[in-house]
Structure 1
Amino acid sequence: MPRIRRLSPGGMLAGVLLVLGAIASVQFGASIAKTVFDRIDPAGLTLLRLAFAAVVMLLIARPRIRTWNRAAWRSILFLGISLAGMNLLFYLALPRIPIAVAVTLELIGPLLLALVQSKRVVDFAWVGLAAVGVGVLGVQSLGGSLDPIGVVLALAAGGCWAAYILASASVGKNVPGVGGLAGALVIATVAVLPFGLMGAIGAVAADPSVLLPAFAIAMLSSAIAYGLEMLALRRVATRVFGIMMAVEPAAAAIFGFLVVGELLTGWDLLALTLVVAASAGVALTAARARPMPPETGQMPLIP
């Protein structure tokens, strides 16, 4: 009979704190991004963000490319394409809908992933509660109070977000440290290049100072956030990680108000309340989770 590894309470707590830190970092960066769309288009900013993050991560990680086998390269490529799609689609949605709304709609990807991976009734209930919150925003789109193109873009970014969760876990298993993340960011930069090159060149030529917020966004929303998430995925199962992402809309609403001055409607707040309640519920049940075998997604701790 295979030996079942138990989840360490300390490891679980550290994983939760890492996820919360990543959430705050990425949403602060997204709020800053929305303030510079009048100086650079979303695709151009996405390219600069990924390029800066890739350079910094390469300097920090110094990945040992020669040690990567075929499985490592395959998982890194998957992660890079996921990062490119998630970032580009999300930034294209931001000028059209509030940040918190975009993040809430984007959650449909991780929620569906959690639903597919879950085998416990209580998790289906929590995911269902969060899905109701996302549905509230969907109804607003049908009523014309939200830009439908922005809604579609955010939902598409959610699909890439689910792929990112799976790809990040795969990279964590196949590549030690954060070298895989550095490689994935390079791939993501190359993938976004055709969409954002002209916009980035034009914006920098017109106003070189746009490089400063672009660098800050890269650090907050890419290098720091993805690094923390990858570390978290070594301590919590991908299913738990995916549902905990429901905290994102609340963080987006806070930073959206503080940085951009975005105000939400009563329906928006109801949707956020539902998904945050679901996140709190899954965090409580995860803390009392039974031992699970490694194949459920639990990743090894960092050496």
Structure 2
Amino acid sequence: MSDRRSALAALVTAGLLWGLTVPLSKLALEWLDPAGLTVVRFSFAALPLALLTRRGLRRAFSLPVVAWGAGGYGLVIIVQNLGIGQTSVSHAALIVGAAPVLVALLNAALGRGTSGLVAWTGFGLALAGVALVAGGGGDDATLEGDLFVLLSVAGSAAFIVAQPRLLAGRDPASVTAVQLGAGAVIALPIALAFEGLPSSLPGTTPLAAAFALAFAGTLLPFVLFALGQARVTPELAGAFVNLEPLVGGAVGALAFHDAFGGLQLLGATAILAGIALSAAPRRTRPGTTVGGRDGGRGRTRPPRTARHV
């Protein structure tokens, strides 16, 4: 299997697993508050990952890596949890489909965009799909909750754009371990100051959801995404974030009985089509490369990225 195909397979699997994060977060928020859930989620994910990648931790540990982990993971997920608690699962899951478009816009604004017309068509189609799904309404959805989720998506997009330089010369999984740990550390004082300790013991479902969120929804997909993101452009890696809202929206409709009518089905189809277009390899003329040359030998060296959470 080629590097590109293995990278795409890792990104697809990560996107599918991340589709469970919003439903699991919704269940876990019945026990923990937004910051507290962030602490639990990232602590239980970061510790085993740090043990597995301990040889690369020293090189991965730096002030920029820690700072972006605290903000891009910790603060972003606190805001996202605030939104999830105030809106429907389907709305929260599907709004994150705006991430690839925001990533592409930020890269273009910084003069680092590499996407062609076909990819931009895919981004636009995916965003239109998200708008169709969100526009379908729902009794449990609120504008305030939707805006919190959208704000978290904007923060994640900035993180995705900033991450390539942080990953350069470092093991992606080790960087992920450091950043998840930083996210847990920054969330802890916020949880203690504004939320306090849980007032009651958790039920079986919220407790199971919290642990599933940490491992199946965080540890495994973060590792897969970190491995895949090192071989593709930020825009392409961001496109697979759209698998998360697609899966999350379906789970919301089936398990949480969120509204999922004709508009939502049309939007889901548009999201899939957008992913397919944005994932298509960009054609280049002979003798050219995309993303910079490696030591003057003409090998493509794509930038590295991060993932939206």
Q: Same fold (TM over 0.5)?
A: yes
Amino acid at match of 2:72: S
Cα displacement (A) at 1:215: 2.1
> In the alignment, what sits opposite 2:123?
127
Amino acid at match of 1:228: L
Cα displacement (A) at 1:19: 0.9
- The alignment-based identity, stated in percent, is 22
Does the 8 Å contact 2:65/2:166 carry over to 1? yes
Q: Indicate the SS of the match to 1:194.
A: helix
Q: 1:110 to 1:119 in 2, by over 3 A?
A: closer
Q: 1:130 to 1:58 in 2, by over 3 A?
A: same
* 1:233 maps to which of 211, 229, 234: 229
Residues 174-213 of structure 1 aligned to structure 2 (within 5 Å): 174-197=169-192, 199=195, 201-203=197-199, 206-207=201-202, 211-213=207-209
Cα displacement (A) at 1:20: 1.3
User: Hey, what's the Cα distance between the residues in 2 that align with 1:145 and 1:191?
Assistant: 30
Residues 237-276 of structure 1 aligned to structure 2 (within 5 Å): 237-276=233-272
> In the alignment, what sits opposite 2:73?
83
User: Hey, what's the Cα distance between the residues in 2 that align with 1:186 and 1:260?
Assistant: 31
> In the alignment, what sits opposite 1:106?
96
Q: Indicate the SS of the match to 1:57.
A: helix
Residues 260-299 of structure 1 aligned to structure 2 (within 5 Å): 260-283=256-279, 285-286=280-281, 289-290=283-284, 291-294=289-292, 298-299=302-303
User: Hey, what's the Cα distance between the residues in 1 that align with 2:246 and 2:133?
Assistant: 14
Q: Indicate the SS of the match to 1:294.
A: coil
TM-score of the superposition, structure 1-length normalised? 0.81
> In the alignment, what sits opposite 1:95?
85
Q: Indicate the SS of the match to 2:260.
A: coil
- 1:158 paired with 2:156, answer no
* 2:53 maps to which of 58, 61, 66: 61
Does the 8 Å contact 2:15/2:244 carry over to 1? yes
> In the alignment, what sits opposite 1:171?
166
Which has more helix, going by share of residues? 1
Q: 1:94 to 1:275 in 2, by over 3 A?
A: same
Larger CA deviation: 112-121 vs 218-227: 112-121
- 1:41 paired with 2:39, answer no
Cα displacement (A) at 1:130: 1.9
Does the 8 Å contact 1:44/1:199 carry over to 2? yes
Residue segments in structure 1 that go unaligned for 5+ positions in a row = 1-8
Amino acid at match of 1:55: L
Q: Indicate the SS of the match to 2:302.
A: coil
TM-score of the superposition, structure 2-length normalised? 0.80
